[in-house]
Amino acid sequence: MRRSLTKAEILRRRRDISRVFQNGHVHRVRGLHLRVLPNDVGWSRVLFAATRQFSGAVERNRARRLVREAYRLYKLEIAGNYDVAFVLYPGSFSYSDRCSQVETLLRRAELIS
């Protein structure tokens, strides 16, 4: 499996996204929430959603980019098939902060060991 995110690995359908937000298990740290739900697709899919509380598009897109990169580093360690949704909140988080947030959430959800 490639380290990059392919189109098949991105959660896109409205029905699937709604299912994750309604039925998924929630794990939280300051600045980032994770919702996880098992799927039957055969691989894990991911969604990165930023809240409207960000002050502008530049800040929102940068935060999404940082979390996407942090997830990309851990995606090969995820065992099983899950739909994963990251919900980003504003704050002065660096790349290392976002990496530790993603790792903490993935460990709490028991997706990585």
pLDDT at position 79, please? 85
Residue 42 CB burial class (10 angstroms; 0-12, 13-18, ≥19): exposed
Instruction: Tell me the C-alpha to C-alpha distance, in Å, between residue 101 and each of 2, 52, 56.
Output: 23, 20, 22
Instruction: Tell me the C-alpha to C-alpha distance, in Å, between residue 60 and each of 39, 43, 65.
Output: 28, 27, 9
Per CATH, is 7-108 categorized as 3.30.70.20?
no
Asked if residues 52 and 96 have their Cβ atoms less than 8 Å apart, the reply is no
C-alpha–C-alpha distance, residues 81 and 91, integer Å: 31
pLDDT tens for the chain, residues 1 to 113: 567 888 999 999 999 999 999 999 999 999 999 999 999 998 999 999 999 999 999 999 999 999 999 999 998 898 889 999 999 999 999 999 999 999 999 999 999 97
**How is the chain split into domains, by residue range?**
7-108
pTM: 0.92
pLDDT at position 111, please? 93
pLDDT at position 38, please? 95
State the Cα torsion 63-68-70-72 to the nearest 10°: -170
